[in-house]
Structure 1
Amino acid sequence: MLQSIPKKLLKQIRQLRQKKFRHEYGLFVISGLRAVGLALESDTLRPKYLLVEKQQMAILNQLPAFNGEAIYALSPSEFEYISDEKTPQGIALVAYLPEETLSQITTLPGQLIFLENINDPGNFGTIVRTAAWFGWPLILLGTNAIDPYQPKAVRASAGAIARVKILRDISLKTLTQLKTQNHYKVIGTTVHEGHTLPAFKPQPSEKYLLLFGSEAHGLSGEAAQLCDLKLTIPKFGTGESLNLSVAVSLFLYQFTALNSKRDNGEN
């Protein structure tokens, strides 16, 4: 049943732009028709409120069933008040922040991504989108990494934030335990050293943990010491480095495509 939104709740939803309020309320916002649709189909996200602009009511017919607490109809000015977008689509979902921890995951995937000191929301959102595309279901974030549920990062994921599990505040000590206890082969990504990515052939029998550092500084010395092997993308032209999300895309393609070929009996 559609309701008018209380002013207090409207203010609280606007406050979710800020990290401290996202953590205080345990909520974040997903905006846009496609992203909201993917979130409502997700088994991992719990929806709380669905927000729709009054002039966009027909958009509700394009969405999966909503099983949250309430659907609120907002005026154009109210929707503009809560949105940080220049041209919002008039549909948004307020969902609970995922609370799952590493210790609660009973079966870890055979291929993992760890992001150290990643702070660009556009890069991060694109990495989440790429991970979903290639079927990597879990991303680990280091202790100094981005808040993955800030609006720009969520928007850049194009809805994939609802399809990929993201575990925050993973220390290098925890990463070391993960490597030892679960027998992952740790691959460090570098700009200037290591074996070239095209020459590396992932083995289906191996479990891999890929480590990516920031564009500016790469992996820390401590993270680099965890690596069993370092790989780099060869440069054939000019430039100091690749955009991080582009580099992650190339790595995920290499690891996913080669393993897929082997699974299908191809050489």
Structure 2
Amino acid sequence: MLPLTVGNSRVKEARKLSRRSVRTERRLFLADGPKAVEGALEAGRVVEVFATPDAARAYAGLLTDAPVTLVDDRALASLSDSVTPAGLVAVCRFLDVDLGALTGGSGPVVVCADVRDPGNAGTIIRTADAVAAAGVVLAGNSVDAYNEKTVRATVGSLFHVGLTIDGDTASVVARLQGAGYRVLAADGAGEVDLFDADELLTGKVAWLFGNEAWGLPADLAALADHRVAIPILGRAESLNLATAAAVCLYASAAAATRMGR
């Protein structure tokens, strides 16, 4: 059977998932590249994998039990926003869950309030996966978790970490506190220095991070149990959001490790 072309109706329907409104309506999204496809297959979220003949041969081991549809290079490129597509794009089912599903897990919960950059959101999800966090909440007016750039930035970790999407950040904070979590706001003006925060970093902890440009609004920071500042030892004005999140999450992991010894 010949590979499907860019004008094929199935390819056209899949291409519509590049629009957020269509993703939301169908609760389907595109995962581009072998790492993302591997994660989606392991998580059981794949509906269909579009692959070029060359990619299907190169990743035959990965695609053994996958529902694969062969497409030509132009059709595959129309489904990918990568500059150099790897030849695999999967149509996947949404995987976000209610916040209650995260609070039953171990590890910290990460709350991103109004995080707009897909690269930052994806990197935070990837870091949360690396520290075995219970999950990530994209709260307020945060970027779409299923945006192609966000998915790609997670490098497959989107399928490994619990994900919640909630437009009401204050409600998320209150629910976490009600579930016994100590909510720590990452705030440059915080009253607690991260280097002195070990006692706060153990047990059930949720980190609250704000927007890339303006950080956490005062009203949200005030809802946290403590505001924690990352010390700046040199002359840098501040840290990139994803970098700050990584520092805080690894500080939590280190504190938990020390307490477990």
Secondary structure, counterpart of 2:59 in structure 1: helix
Query: Which deviates more from structure 2 when the two are superposed, residues 250-259 or residues 220-229?
Result: 220-229
CA contact (8 A) 2:114 2:139 kept: yes
**Structure 1 position 33, deviation (Å):** 1.4
Q: Pick the aligned partner of 1:78 from 70, 75, 78.
A: 75
Q: Pick the aligned partner of 1:189 from 182, 186, 189.
A: 186
| Partner residue in 1 for 2:59 | 60
Report the aligned-residue RMSD: 2.2
**Structure 1 position 217, deviation (Å):** 1.0
| Partner residue in 1 for 2:21 | 20
Opposite residue 165 of structure 1, the aligned amino acid is G
Residues 203 and 186 from structure 1, CA distance in 2 versus in 1: closer, same or farther, beyond 3 angstroms? closer
CA contact (8 A) 2:51 2:88 kept: yes
Residues 62 and 2 from structure 1, CA distance in 2 versus in 1: closer, same or farther, beyond 3 angstroms? farther
**Structure 1 position 152, deviation (Å):** 0.5
1:92 aligns with 2:93: no
Opposite residue 27 of structure 1, the aligned amino acid is L
C-alpha distance in 2 between matches for 1:80 and 1:179: 42
| Partner residue in 2 for 1:250 | 247
Secondary structure, counterpart of 1:49 in structure 2: strand
**Structure 1 position 220, deviation (Å):** 1.7
Opposite residue 122 of structure 1, the aligned amino acid is G
Opposite residue 22 of structure 2, the aligned amino acid is F
| Partner residue in 1 for 2:225 | 228
CA contact (8 A) 1:2 1:71 kept: no
Secondary structure, counterpart of 2:208 in structure 1: strand
Gaps in structure 2 of 5+ consecutive residues: none
TM-superposition CA deviations, 1:113-132 (whole Å, max 9, x none): 11001010011111111110
Q: How many residues are treated as equivalent by the alignment?
A: 260
| Partner residue in 1 for 2:172 | 175
CA contact (8 A) 1:36 1:159 kept: yes
Secondary structure, counterpart of 2:50 in structure 1: strand
C-alpha distance in 2 between matches for 1:2 and 1:228: 60
| 4+ long deviations beyond 6 Å | none
Q: After the TM superposition, which residues 100-249 of structure 1 pair with which residues of structure 2 at under 5 Å, given as runs?
A: 100-103=97-100, 107-202=104-199, 206-249=203-246
**Structure 1 position 202, deviation (Å):** 3.7
Secondary structure, counterpart of 1:166 in structure 2: strand
TM-score w.r.t. length of structure 1:
0.89
**Structure 1 position 92, deviation (Å):** 1.6
C-alpha distance in 2 between matches for 1:201 and 1:142: 26
CA contact (8 A) 1:3 1:71 kept: no
CA contact (8 A) 1:41 1:64 kept: no
C-alpha distance in 2 between matches for 1:127 and 1:166: 12
C-alpha distance in 2 between matches for 1:243 and 1:225: 22
**Structure 1 position 240, deviation (Å):** 2.2
**Structure 1 position 99, deviation (Å):** 4.7
TM-score w.r.t. length of structure 2:
0.91
CA contact (8 A) 1:203 1:259 kept: no
TM-superposition CA deviations, 1:228-266 (whole Å, max 9, x none): 111111111122211000000000110001211221x2x
Residues 56 and 173 from structure 1, CA distance in 2 versus in 1: closer, same or farther, beyond 3 angstroms? closer
- Percent of matched pairs sharing the same residue: 28
Gaps in structure 1 of 5+ consecutive residues: none
C-alpha distance in 2 between matches for 1:205 and 1:251: 12
